[in-house]
Amino acid sequence: MLINSAQNQTGTESADSRYSCFLSTQSGRHWKQIGLKRRAGVLTPLFSIYSENSIGIGEFPDIKLLADWCAETGLSLIQLLPLNDVGFGFRPYDSESTFALDPMYLSLDRLVAADLRPHRIRSAVLRARYPRNHSRVDYGIKQAKLEFLWEVFSQSENKRNSRFIDYVNQNNYWLRDYTLFKVLKEIHRGQSWEVWPAAYRDRNKAALQKIESEHRDKIEFHKWLQWQIFEQFRATRDYLTQRRILLMGDLPFLVSRDSADVWAHSNLFKLDLIAGAPPDLYFALGQRWGMPPYHWENIKSENYSYLIERLRYAENFYDCFRIDHFVGLFRIWTIAASEPIENGGLNGVFDPADESLWEDHGRRILSVMLDNTKMLPCAEDLGVVPPCSFKVLEEFGLPGMDIQRWMRDWGNTYDFLDAKRYRKNSVSTISTHDMSIFTAWWQFEAGTIDEALYKRALAKADLQFEQLKEKLFDLKGSRHLKLRWRRDIRDIDHYLEILNIPKSAADELVYLFLSSFDEQDKALRFLLPNQEPHATNNLELLKAAVQENLETESIFNIQSLQDWLCLSGDYFSDAWNARINFPGVVGEQNWSIVMPVSLEDMRGLKISPLIKSMSQAAGRAQ
């Protein structure tokens, strides 16, 4: 069932000798398949793009139009955010299944083996009710589409054709459990599986067989949905192969506690713990994600079949895949489920606790991945990163992530690192889906310090924020809980004088100051060294940032669609809210942004030749 992928075509392209060392690593065969070539690409969630044919949200066939734009601009890599079924939570990294994809992305006009003629009026009504060009996704479209799809399914005379039957048989490892879970969720009105009657919660065999018998049509419907997704996504994937565009999927590292995976394989998860991240420069309380960490010992005892099957299914759609929270393969921050929510990830511990085990732990899991998939893994190695992570990625020849605003000479000059100092085995970018776009970073974050983080550092030194805030910060120029330093602070000695504390007793406070105080000045000297600060505008700075980032040694360079579009200067007047996600915050502003231009209108944009010329200058254009 594995489809032909772009590797068969791109693998014949001339290799870039700078990266030939990758061929002698454990991922060598993966690189041979996709081509050892510098690439530029684009990152977007599917929910953020739309075409004239979309109904309410981006759909699988819309990826073809994005590929057309990529071909026009010289880009050869599309990175998508997770497409897994999220139920009605609409958080892509907190899904109900690590296998099943979300039916809200189905095109209602391109269903396979279904007579759509009786449903055209209803389809038109849906199209009018859920316009495609709003600034935010109306997730009511999912229920509306499910009702439409149920009607089509119920009236279809050819439900069980041979392709559908083959699909069900070949995916039985996960499909039966997933469809049972979906039906039981409906029966119990969306309640968590942990509060279902014991017979269902504990997966009593006779009880589940009875559900299958009494709800045969509903179970068949959910299987049919996944088959329809498979058919549409496969057709899309074949089109990208023809256009020589690689597709990178994003496989969520964790899965919702209330998911088919955890219900069906509860022994593979540590349900007394919650995964998260420790406090760092950007999240003073750390992070508490809510999902259970894996029980790797039990996964190993089952010969990693759960992990292998996940990769096997994803291989139908992607050439590469992003390992979300890659450092979690070595160790993951865990919080007791009983810990108060308001403490975030503050009071946690790493699992495994013994640091000497981390490298072998991650190496073993990564080896299983490489041995059981043709897709090239790419690591999201951000946050608090153990040294063994960099070592293993280099040894395995796999890309990590190098983000421009974080590539600094930390602990020394704090200057930005030039293009030659990026890892060859990396994906370089100026922003990710969890970060502000470049323009917002420059306007609101560069040269600031997180308020909660700084207050916490002051408290450790027995200093009062209220007594110091006006001496240290330009409060009128501070926005979004980011404190902007006063420009009249001369240097570190003047700073310590204001604090009235010796340097030896203020390590953290000194670090926070040196890492952020003159960040804008350093960025200007780095990106536009021959230009006076007063003569610089945001568009010039963005263009310089993108071009510098394209020039890095990184084999891949991927920018968010927002950052690419911002090169025109015509979009995103509210730069702060033009981001995809605000980590650690629950709200409507997350996972809902829609691009301000359709995929059809992106063809022929005035910035397309600029993007292509920039990619060509960096040796990345296809």
148-193 pLDDT per residue, tens: 999 999 998 777 789 999 999 999 999 999 999 999 999 999 999 9
Alpha-carbon distance of 159 to 164, in angstroms, equals 8
Q: Give the model confidence (pLDDT) of 511-546 as tens digits.
A: 999 999 999 999 999 999 988 766 678 899 999 999
Poorest-pLDDT segment among 10-24, 33-47, 72-86, 546-560? 10-24
Phi, psi for residue 579 in degrees, rounded to 5: -95, 165
**Residue 5 — pLDDT band, cuts 50, 70, 90?**
very low
Q: Strands of 287-288's sheet, edge to edge?
A: 287-288, 273-277, 332-336, 348-351
**Residue 14 — pLDDT band, cuts 50, 70, 90?**
low
Count of domains for the chain: 1
Range of the domain at 469: 444-542
The mean pLDDT value for 272-283 works out to 85
Could you tell me which residue, 98 or 7, shows the higher pLDDT? 98
Could you tell me which residue, 233 or 282, shows the higher pLDDT? 233
* Residue 230 included in any domain: no
CB 132 within 8 A of CB 56: yes
What is the percent of the chain with per-residue pLDDT over 90, rounded to a whole number? 88
Give strand ranges (E) for 278-399: 287-288, 320-323, 332-336, 348-351, 376-379
**Residue 1 — pLDDT band, cuts 50, 70, 90?**
very low
* Residue 332 included in any domain: no
- CA dist list (Å): 471 to 446, 485, 496: 19, 9, 12
Is the pLDDT score of 2 beyond 50?
no
* Residue 129 included in any domain: no
Which residues are CB-contacts of 336 (< 8 A; sequence separation ≥ 6)?
A: 272, 273, 274, 347, 348
The length of the chain in residues reads 622
* Residue 467 included in any domain: yes
* Residue 496 included in any domain: yes
- CA dist list (Å): 104 to 118, 147, 223, 395: 21, 11, 15, 40
Which pLDDT score is estimated for 534? 65
* Residue 537 included in any domain: yes
Average confidence score pLDDT of the chain: 94
Alpha-carbon distance of 160 to 113, in angstroms, equals 10
Q: Give the model confidence (pLDDT) of 83-127 as tens digits.
A: 999 999 999 999 999 999 999 999 999 999 998 999 999 999 999
* Residue 604 included in any domain: no
Of 512, 517, 374, the C-alpha closest to 453 is 512
**Residue 276 — pLDDT band, cuts 50, 70, 90?**
very high
**Residue 7 — pLDDT band, cuts 50, 70, 90?**
very low
Which pLDDT score is estimated for 230? 98
* Residue 465 included in any domain: yes
